[in-house]
Amino acid sequence: MRKVELSYALHHQRTGESDSAAMLRNPMMDVLHAVRSHGSISAAARHLGLSYRHVWGQLKQWEAELGQELIVWERGQAALLSPFGQRLLMAERLAQARLGPQMEHLRAELERAFAQAFEPASEAGSKSLLTLYASHDHALNALQDMAAGWGPQQADSLRQALHLDLRFCGSVDAIRALNEGRCQLAGFHTQPFADTNSLSARTYRPLLKPGSHKIIGFARRSQGLMVAPGNPLRLRNMQDVARLQARFVNRAKGTGTRLLLDELLEQSQLLPQDIDGFDNVEASHAAVAQAVASGSADAGLGTEYAAREAGLDFVPLTEERYLLVGLKSALDQAPVKQLLALLRSPSWGKRLAELPGYAPDHCGEVAAMKRLLPWWR
């Protein structure tokens, strides 16, 4: 068993840095990824801003420590990862994808703690805190960064004013957390035009109480099959997945995506046993995408954003609404008012539209159930 040590760095967000850049970093994995992407050690060194000699020396040191070669290279030929190097990189990427929600929460907590140290004593504790339990969603990470003042330009009244405490879990579990008083808002996703007797309606309706809960518009996003580049099996829908016995990777019970899959199977008159890999479960969209990218699965259900980030092809199956829900009494709380103002701002609409597979949809609009959940009727 190899020992793993964790570390982190503290810096200003760099110009052009993506919202997902602040993950755990490892120099060896960075080098392996750069070599695979750029095809040579010298090109990888330039990409990383390092000298050829430094990267070459690191590779030889790591190979000696691990007892296996990482790079297959001959003069005049492109550098390739060895089979061991490929397995090592894929294993690390899958682990990062599985732990993504927890690492994002840890990062946010560290940023919040350090922000207090950088603030003048007179301003310490002046930030608003809003706790949000939610189904994992990349747009929420972008919103969290913007609320903290990291995103595009926004009103001075919003900069450095709100800390969004994200706790990722399944959609059903998020609403339960709200009802149990563990958060101020919950995030969930559902097909907006599902039937009133659909599985989505039957699942969410008992958790939401008209008069007590208010729905807040957030985004529309595309969900579908994440498949290898070129879609080699020519998958178009869940019927194809079942017919061709494609190796599938699923999400856990209690997640909105698992609920969507159950609904798609019901509509197609398919059973769980018709799907090869129905019990093969991953914890996030990114982990499903990485499982497909690594070749351990042929397809998985997830967001277009996660597919594009992993370099996969995407077969759209449905557009769904991602919504926030809170108690009516919470709407008068200052952090909720600040969040609503940010959601309604042109800056947020522009940022959301830049994310692959996302579109603005009633952003910041507070509505009754039947307004944004047509199946409520």
Give the whole-angstrom CA distance, residue 249 versus residue 122. Answer: 51
Q: What is the mean pLDDT of residues 301-310?
A: 95
Higher pLDDT, 307 or 153: 307
Lowest mean pLDDT among 37-41, 106-110, 315-319: 106-110
pLDDT tens column, 140-158: 989 988 887 743 444 444 4
CA distance 344 to 340: 6
Asked if residue 115 lies in contact with residue 125, where contact means CB atoms within 8 angstroms, the answer is: no
pLDDT of residue 159: 47
pLDDT, tens only, 321-348: 999 999 999 999 999 999 999 999 999 9
Query: What CATH code is assigned to 127-376?
Result: 3.40.190.290
pLDDT reported for residue 97: 75
Top-tier CATH class for 22-123 = mainly alpha
Neighbours of 341 (CB within 10 A): 17
What is the C-alpha to C-alpha distance for residues 205 and 199, in angstroms, rounded to an integer? 10
The answer to whether 207 and 322 have CB atoms below 8 angstroms apart is: no
Mean pLDDT (whole number) for 195-214? 91
Element (H, E) at 215: strand 213-227
Q: Find out whether 330 and 188 touch, Cβ atoms under 8 Å.
A: no
Confirm if 92 and 29 have CB atoms less than 8 A apart.
yes
| pLDDT for residue 178 | 97
Question: Quick check: 274 and 250 in contact, CB under 8 A?
Answer: no
Angle at the Cα of 251 (from 180 to 372), degrees rounded to 5?
55
> The whole model's pTM is what?
0.74
What is the average per-residue pLDDT within 56-72?
89
- pLDDT, the chain, mean: 86
Residue 106 pLDDT class (50, 70, 90 cuts)? confident
Q: Tell me whether the CATH fold assigned to 22-123 matches the one assigned to 127-376.
A: no
Is the model's pLDDT at 160 over the cut of 50? no
Q: Is the pLDDT of residue 22 over 80?
A: no
Distance of CA 375 to the CA centre of its chain: 27
Query: What is the DSSP code string of 37-88?
Result: HHSSHHHHHHHHT--HHHHHHHHHHHHHHHTS--EE--TTS--EE-HHHHHH
Confidence of residue 124 (pLDDT cuts 50, 70, 90): very low
**Top-ranked range on mean pLDDT: pick from 119-133, 140-154, 276-290:** 276-290
Position 358 pLDDT exceeds 90: yes
Lowest mean pLDDT segment, chosen from 87-96, 200-209, 220-229:
87-96
pLDDT higher at 107 or 170 = 170
**Per-residue confidence at 80, pLDDT binned at 50, 70, 90?**
confident
Q: What is the DSSP string of 265-321?
A: HHHTT--GGGSTTTT-EESSHHHHHHHHHTTS-SEEEEEHHHHHHTT-EEEEEEEEE
188 pLDDT more than 90: yes
Residue 119 reports pLDDT greater than 70? no
Handedness of CA 367, 371, 375, 377 (dihedral sign): positive
pLDDT at residue number 134: 94
Mean pLDDT of 78-99: 82
Q: Which pLDDT score is estimated for 153?
A: 45
CB atoms within 10 A of CB 67: 7
Domain boundaries, the chain: 22-123, 127-376
- Residue 118 has a pLDDT of 65
pLDDT band at 374 (very low <50, low <70, confident <90, very high): confident
Q: What is the pLDDT of residue 108?
A: 66
Q: Which tens digits make up the pLDDT trace of 213-257?
A: 999 999 999 999 999 999 999 999 999 999 999 999 999 898 999
pLDDT band, residue 20 (cuts 50/70/90):
very low
Query: Among 116-120, 121-125, 179-183, whose mean pLDDT is lowest?
Result: 121-125
pLDDT at res. 191: 85
With H, G, I as helix, E, B as strand and everything else as coil, classify residue 327: strand
Q: Taking residues 193-210, what's their average pLDDT?
A: 89
